[in-house]
């Protein structure tokens, strides 16, 4: 799922999902069934026949997410999935991501929001200017990372600032 969606604004939500689902060879009945399930999950079942151009940026982001999972992928790559979402929509999307994770899906996502990473990730990779600064299990990193002589007990935000700040020296 790209950060900036490329949705066809003149299509309805259903038409757009049928288009993208068709590219993955999903039959129309399955597309509609999955779409209704996810629209209901996001509390917007009435959007089924709404035009993309009539949706807010946040709701377009939800549709972009639904399109990304219509074909039930084992691997999902999300680029800044919370961009443009209000706090309620962020929580809805977090729940959806955790649901997919619980189903055994592998999810890779990029984010500049450390609280989202802490809430959703088991393993992390911090990259700055194309260079890997830190990688591993999130809990182990938080328990063992040392800042100013103090080991453990640091937030991922503090760890990130510590790593990125030192990478520019």
Residues 6+ apart with CB under 8 A from 1: 64, 65, 67, 68, 76, 77, 78, 79, 81
Q: Say how many Å lie between the first and final Cα of the chain, rounded.
A: 34
The residues assigned a catalytic role are: 80
Residues 6+ apart with CB under 8 A from 26: 34, 70, 71
Polymer length of the chain = 169
């Amino acid at each position: 799922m790209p950060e900036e969606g490329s949705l066809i604004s003149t299509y309805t939500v259903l038409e757009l999902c049928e288009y993208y689902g068709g590219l993955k060879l999903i039959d129309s009945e399955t597309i509609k069934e999955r779409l209704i399930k996810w629209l209901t999950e996001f509390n917007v079942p009435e959007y089924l026949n709404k035009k993309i151009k009539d949706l807010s940026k946040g709701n377009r982001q939800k549709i972009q997410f639904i399109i990304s999972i219509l074909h039930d992928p084992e691997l999902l790559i999300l680029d800044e999935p919370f961009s443009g979402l209000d706090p309620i929509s962020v929580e809805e999307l977090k729940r959806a991501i955790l649901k997919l994770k619980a189903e055994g899906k592998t999810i890779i996502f990029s984010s500049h929001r450390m609280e989202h990473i802490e809430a959703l990730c088991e393993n992390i990779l911090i990259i700055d200017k194309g260079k890997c600064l830190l990688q591993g299990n999130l809990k182990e990193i938080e328990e063992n990372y040392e800042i100013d002589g103090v080991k453990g007990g640091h937030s991922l935000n503090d760890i990130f600032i510590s790593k990125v700040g030192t990478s520019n020296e």
